[in-house]
Structure 1
């Protein structure tokens, strides 16, 4: 499964000179935790997260911890006004053709909840932890129905092949006139997010595979 199969596209983005309030409104409206910061050509300049927006914008309450805050701060100092002042200008990115497993590993290694998807420097989408979870945690009946729809579209009619799913493994039954069609059907089935493997007629199950001599 590739990033382009599950990413959100087009992505919600923000300009570097936009007020931080605009970024906050976008995150709230679209229920996202971060936004790519782009120029007028949608080229990536940085990433701004909800954590970036909170930094220096929630004043401490000295009375709650007088040891840590011995003085009441009347003037909290400069509060960033535009996105460029708070964004991360070296964000971790991923390409649309990257394996989803690699994207998940990047998120864990860098402790981020989403990644801008960039192709030739241009933001083409965003992939989040939620996108990955939604793709991999899918009911077998949903997977089978999704694969069936794609195969019906390819065949131009319904019920050319029957499709079943078990633990994410798709089994396609039916006639295949040649190996080229078998390869196309297998490829189409694998493009469905959440599919772990594809079995076609004549292929043994893992526990039926011949043991090497």
Structure 2
């Protein structure tokens, strides 16, 4: 499964000159954990997460450990450019989802912008990854069958069954080229682990 199969789009983005309060409102209103920061040409320059916005803005309880309250910061950030993370973990549309998931866990990030030609075309969150993994076999079989039937012009030429994310396609094929097409169609369904085309040629 590829990143383009599960990424969220369109992407809600921010610019470096946007106010911090506006960034916080965007994340809260849209129910997202982070937003890419782009320049005027839609090129990625950073990312703002909930953690970035909260850092240094929540006052400590001065009585928590019987210590003196810390002095307030001399400068409270006002612009996105002042709080955004500049070293951003990114992905690309044809990257394997398993590789992205591994990177997100290793780097402890919750959202990864997807770039194509340097431009932001999508974003992958841990929620997207979970949604693709936790789909039932029945849902996968239904979606695979729909794509195969649509390719066949509405005719039921193949039957798709799914067990533990593994798709099995039975039926008949015109040639080996069509076998490859059928396999690719099945693989494009988010949540499919692998595909076995058992259909016969001829």
1:133: which partner in 2?
130
2:50: which partner in 1?
50
TM-score normalised by the chain length of structure 2: 0.94
CA distance in 2, matches of 1:115, 1:84: 18
Asked if 1:170 is matched to 2:167, the reply is: yes
CA distance in 2, matches of 1:158, 1:66: 75
Going from structure 1 to structure 2, the CA distance change for 1:72 and 1:83 (only over 3 Å counts) comes to closer
Identify unmatched segments of 5+ residues in structure 1.
204-213
Q: How does 1:199-210 map to 2 (within 5 A)?
A: 199-201=196-198
CA RMSD between the two structures: 1.5
Checking the alignment, whether the CA contact within 8 Å between 1:59 and 1:76 is kept in structure 2 is no
1:41: which partner in 2?
41
- The one of 119, 124, 137 aligned to 1:122: 119
Going from structure 1 to structure 2, the CA distance change for 1:33 and 1:170 (only over 3 Å counts) comes to same
Identify unmatched segments of 5+ residues in structure 2.
none
The structure that has the greater radius of gyration is 1
| 1:61 shift after superposition | 2.0
1:208: which partner in 2?
none
SS of 2:173's partner is: coil
CA distance in 1, matches of 2:161, 2:155: 15
CA distance in 1, matches of 2:70, 2:165: 58
TM-score normalised by the chain length of structure 1: 0.89
Aligned pairs, how many?
200
